Structure 1
Amino acid sequence: MSLAGFSLADVVGFVGVGLVVATYFLSQIGRMDATRPLYPGLNALGALMILVSLWFRPNPASIAIEFFWLAISAIGFVRALIIGRRR
């Protein structure tokens, strides 16, 4: 399956990049609270989508950073849930 020369895996990866970049941008302009579960949740989803695309076109350095991004986002998500329950 191809859309303008991109495979489905490429499209999934680009959507993942869009999620990561959009959430970071929104947090930087004060439109998304990075301490709420939505921010790390969307970042984790974005990293996972990028990892899916990297499964089909491996790049070791990119795979490494996305695993770290996913792990850090998972920690942030759990932390945001715990802090949210305390409020």
Structure 2
Amino acid sequence: MNTNDLIGTIGVGLILLAYFLNIFSWIKKEGVLFYVMNIVGASIACFASILISFWPFIILEGTWAIVSVIGLMKSIKKPQA
């Protein structure tokens, strides 16, 4: 496994871990941790895709990170019940 693979695996691993924790209700779907894990994971995976110039995943992971940032901002602005 080369460096690019390792970086990408860490990024994708964070995204999958966030999904797993959410599915089993161990973290909130609209909680800060869920969004932060997605932002960091997608950003790392996007960086790994940039390193190998793989445009489909640069677009996918970049979009994932941006959407997660928007979700985090909406979650923070939302009044707590």
TM over 0.5: yes
Question: Which residue of structure 2 aligns with residue 70 of structure 1?
Answer: 65
CA apart distance, 1:14: 0.9
For the aligned residue pairs, the C-alpha RMSD in angstroms reads 1.1
TM-score by length of 1: 0.84
TM-score for the superposition, normalised by structure 2: 0.89
Which has the higher Rg, Structure 1 or Structure 2?
Answer: 1
Unaligned runs of 5+ in 2: none
- Which digits, 9 at most, give the CA deviation of each residue in 1:24-66, with x for residues without a partner? 0111111110111111111010010011111211211111111
* Number of residue-to-residue matches in the alignment: 80
Structure 2 match to 1:57:
52
Q: What's 2:30 paired with?
A: 35
Find the counterpart in structure 2 of residue 6 from structure 1: 2
- Per residue, is there more strand in 1 or in 2? 1
Partner of residue 47, structure 1? 42
Identity of aligned residues (%): 24
